[in-house]
Amino acid sequence: MSLIRKVLIANRGEIALRIVRACRELGIGAVAVYSDADRLAPHVLEADEAWHAGPSPAARSYLNADALIDIARRSGCDALHPGYGFLAERAFFARAVEEAGLVFVGPSARAIEAMGDKTQARRRMRDAGVPVVPGTVEPVPDLRAAEAAAADIGWPVLLKAAAGGGGKGIRVVQNASELKRAFESAGNEARSAFGDDRLYLEKYLDRPRHIEIQVLADAHGNVVSLGERECSVQRRHQKMIEEAPSPAVDEPLRQRMGEAAVAAARAVGYVNAGTIEFLVAGGAFHFLEMNTRIQVEHPVTECVTGLDLVQWQLRVAGGEALPFGPQDISLSGHAIECRITSEDPFHGFLPSSGRVTDVQLPAGPGVRWDGALLEGQEVSLFYDPLLGKLIVHAADRASAIARMRRALDELRIVGIDTSAAFLRNVMVEPDFVAGTIDIGYVDAHPALLEPRTNEDAARAAAVAAALLEERRRQTRVARRAGTTSAVRSAWRRRDWRE
């Protein structure tokens, strides 16, 4: 059993709540942190303890490394889980956690550094025999060097931030006349996002698929591939729908990609959960990057493998060896995840904020909701718009799509705009249903960004209105009786700290 007894969760929202649940099942104490905006957030209410991390802006709370480590020590934690986003892939943070005498639930600072610098990662992967996209293996120092590299690689090319991730600092450049403006804008965005404006070039592949391999490694030399996830439904390099397994990957390709992913992890001495991302085109695959953390889309892998990846993160960080090998991993059924965000998909995905007045979550066989959303909760613009993830698991892909359609029809979030209607459009679009998708799928299907006006949509709106009115009536009755669910939930907290 793991030596970890108490974990600080240096994150918020649905991933913080997901880690709380994993800790509880393992008998590990879970300590939450919160900003002013998150004082009554679900992850705060469910943790064993909650400590104030600072004001609402992330830079003064969830990105305040010194404050987070100080809270971990004062609360008696022996480990820290960074979740994803914020400081999860910052090598300096992993190193500072370890220097404070705490266990970092993730890879070593050295491994994060090796994969965090994209050009260094490309060199390492090439040396390890992992296929990489043709391009530079060093940042280009200036525009003239970029012009020379692009001419050598061949147009079109991708300009990418050397310290990048999350779709930031990336520009597609079709020809030499576009390069100067793209070089400046990508550099400015990279500097703003990462404090590092270095850029490198890759050959732009024509509409590849984005497929990633989940790996899990322990400190005893075991590294296992847990199969692939299809992540091609994207907008501006941000994933929107993920599924496992990919409809485009057969067993021989899965085997080859899995072996390459394991080689990539071994090349940097990787320990814990990580993801190797590939671009796949014409039966060939090329290394894109490694995410040195748990992924947003990890639930689909959990569904088809039966493994709890967050629990295994904690167990591996506590020194346990993996009790299974490649021969023990099999994929069962098909899983799909839809990211529910606070954005208006029919008006350019503009961020939406406000008070959530009603929440009705889908249920039934094979439906899972990983979210942190309550009725009455205020959704602010301080943080990422992800509200939660709707996941389904079924015997095959067609059944999973049908189940996701049903689940999206049942989902009700009133008070803010969400991406749910767009996702519902995708679930009936013929190319998606057929599995013929690539990273240009959303741009190639503009009708997905048009609201539904059919009878199903009108019926759904009427049901939502009726449910909202009934919920309001029940709330009025409960208030007159002096016992609202909000009051009961707020006082479930067992230990609050400033």
340-368: b (≥16 Cβ within 10 Å) or e: bbbbbbeeebeebeeebebbbebeeebbb
The average pLDDT across 137-159 equals 95
The average pLDDT across 188-208 equals 92
Predicted pLDDT at 456: 52
Question: Is pLDDT at 480 greater than 70 in this prediction?
Answer: no
Share of residues in the chain with pLDDT > 90 (%): 85
Using DSSP, how many helices (H) and how many strands (E) does the chain show? 17, 23
Residues 395, 402 contacting (CB under 8 angstroms): no
Q: Give residue-wise pLDDT tens across range 22-58.
A: 999 999 999 999 999 999 999 999 999 999 999 999 9
> Could you give the C-alpha distances from 29 to 74, 312, 459, in angstroms and in order?
14, 16, 45
Residue 206 banded pLDDT, cuts 50, 70, 90: confident
Question: Is pLDDT at 494 greater than 50 in this prediction?
Answer: no
Q: Please name the amino acid found at residue 119.
A: T
Q: Give residue-wise pLDDT tens across range 328-343.
A: 999 999 999 999 999 9
Predicted pLDDT at 483: 45
The average pLDDT across 337-366 equals 97
Give the lowest-confidence range in 128-137, 263-272, 400-409: 128-137
Residues near 347 by beta carbon (within 8 Å), at least 6 away in sequence: none
Q: Give residue-wise pLDDT tens across range 87-124.
A: 999 999 999 999 999 999 999 999 999 999 888 899 99
Whole-angstrom distance, CA of residue 63 vs CA of residue 84: 12
Type and span of the H or E element at 278? strand 272-281
Beta bridge partners of 394: 334
Going along the chain from its start, the domains and CATH numbers come out as 6-105 (3.40.50.20), 134-203 (3.30.1490.20), 209-449 (3.30.470.20)
Predicted pLDDT at 123: 92
Predicted pLDDT at 164: 78
Give the lowest-confidence range in 402-406, 426-430, 464-468: 464-468
Question: Is pLDDT at 477 greater than 80 in this prediction?
Answer: no
Residues 421, 390 contacting (CB under 8 angstroms): no
pTM, 2 dp? 0.88
The average pLDDT across 133-149 equals 94
412-424: b (≥16 Cβ within 10 Å) or e: bbbbbbbbbbbbb
Share of residues in the chain with pLDDT > 70 (%): 90
- For residue 449, the tally of other CB atoms under 10 A from its CB is 17
Question: Is pLDDT at 490 greater than 50 in this prediction?
Answer: no
Residues annotated as catalytic are 293
